[in-house]
């Protein structure tokens, strides 16, 4: 058998394109913003993770430009060797302070951050206990760590988590990993109970706060801050590609943990460091996040406005309090059709199908930006109403 047979026989994408329902790889002709030009069409963007609205902010762009001019386009090596800039160290110090931790370490992408942190910290004979809806990067991190013992508890089900923990050896190393704000449903992890169970069963806790940072917590410090549990969470992880308007990621923890990861994490040691422009943009976005709390308020206000409008229109949403509002479509074909129809109405949303969700629970993931306007939301809701009338009548 030719190793490429699987490639030659893969027709799912071509089949979907032939039906006109293929929803992926739309090309942007403009910067990421509340409205964009996509495939030549002006679109209201309610499918990005640009929560703070900083990807096109003049200040983040200027910070990137200045770093580009000073340091060049890249670092040509890993942080471990020749790729460490003063800029990286400044960013890490500011991130550690932001999360109220001793130290922080940056990685080149968010996905790589989970790969690098988990695979370094967890040993082969330790235990990882995952929320069932954790991000794919955490699942792959468990594989890279060659961990024999990976358990999964039902999503946000604390009885399920305790049942898993109670079965484990008391003296074994254990790491509970959970998203802070879950990327698909938008719900918030029950950190107080997770911390309580971690203490009871001698486990550590890691929170992937890729979506929580900027959205919740004091000055957007995320889920641990939201609950006042920053000192109790052992590792806080986040990405720069969302609220921090760049590319990369970090973990913040006790200094010995960060030092260990620096010297043991293969994805960190063997990858080139974050380009100067990305580091500078993230640093500037972090500064704005800390000094402009009104952005966080604007994000929640516009999300609540949209949530109320969708409910009033009879659109079946998942209740919540974050800037992620999923809309149920249930069936895959209907999901793709709704996505296409909304796009034709001038609204971009993300279709979510298995394995990202369970069978029969397909949805449209909508997400919002601090700089969205009521007028844009009103137009988006009207588009939803027209599409739903065609789909269900």
Catalytic residues: 183, 211, 242
Instruction: With beta carbons less than 8 A apart as the criterion, state whether 220 and 289 touch.
Output: yes
The upper half-sphere exposure of residue 269, i.e. CA atoms within 13 Å in the direction of its Cβ, equals 10
**What sign has the CA pseudo-torsion 66, 72, 74, 77?**
negative
DSSP state of 46: -
Q: How far apart are the first and last CA of the chain?
A: 49
The partner residues of 347 in beta bridges, in order of sequence, read 44
DSSP state of 364: E
Beta strands in the chain (DSSP E): 35-38, 41-45, 103-107, 127-131, 149-153, 174-179, 204-208, 235-239, 249-253, 324-330, 347-348, 350-352, 362-367
CA distance 42 to 44: 7
């Amino acid at each position: 058998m030719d190793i490429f047979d699987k490639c030659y026989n893969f027709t799912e994408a071509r089949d979907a394109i032939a039906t006109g329902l293929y929803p992926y790889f739309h090309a942007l002709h403009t910067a990421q913003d509340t409205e964009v030009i996509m495939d030549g069409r002006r679109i209201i963007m309610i499918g990005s993770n640009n929560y703070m609205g900083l990807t096109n902010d003049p200040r983040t762009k200027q910070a990137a430009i200045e770093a580009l001019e000073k340091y060049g386009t890249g670092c040509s090596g890993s942080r471990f060797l020749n790729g460490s800039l003063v800029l990286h160290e400044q960013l890490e110090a500011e991130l550690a302070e932001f999360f109220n931790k001793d130290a922080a370490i940056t990685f080149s992408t968010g996905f790589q951050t989970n790969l690098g942190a988990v695979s370094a910290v967890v040993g082969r004979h330790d235990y990882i206990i995952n929320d069932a809806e954790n991000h794919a990067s955490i699942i792959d991190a468990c594989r890279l760590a060659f961990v024999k013992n990976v358990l999964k508890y039902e999503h946000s089900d604390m009885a399920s988590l305790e049942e898993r923990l109670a079965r484990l050896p008391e003296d074994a190393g254990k790491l509970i990993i959970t998203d802070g704000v879950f990327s698909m449903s938008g719900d918030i992890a029950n950190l107080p109970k997770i911390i309580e169970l971690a203490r009871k069963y001698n486990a550590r806790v890691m929170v992937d706060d890729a979506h929580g940072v900027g959205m919740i917590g004091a000055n957007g410090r995320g889920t641990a801050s939201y609950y006042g549990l920053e000192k109790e969470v052992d590792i806080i992880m986040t990405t720069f590609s969302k609220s921090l308007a760049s590319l990369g990621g970090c973990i913040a923890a006790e200094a010995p943990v960060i030092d260990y990861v620096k010297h043991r994490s293969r994805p960190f040691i063997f990858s080139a460091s974050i380009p100067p422009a990305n580091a500078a943009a993230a640093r500037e976005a972090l500064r704005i996040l800390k000094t402009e709390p009104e952005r966080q308020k604007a994000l929640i206000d516009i999300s609540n406005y949209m949530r109320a409008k969708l409910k009033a229109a009879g659109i079946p949403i998942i209740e919540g309090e974050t800037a992620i509002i999923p809309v149920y479509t249930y069936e895959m074909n209907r999901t793709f059709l709704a996505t296409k129809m909304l796009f034709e109405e001038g609204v971009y949303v993300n279709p979510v199908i298995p394995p990202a969700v369970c069978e029969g629970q397909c949805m449209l993931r909508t997400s919002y930006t601090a700089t969205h306007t009521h007028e844009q939301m009103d137009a988006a809701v009207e588009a939803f109403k027209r599409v739903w009338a065609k789909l269900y009548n």
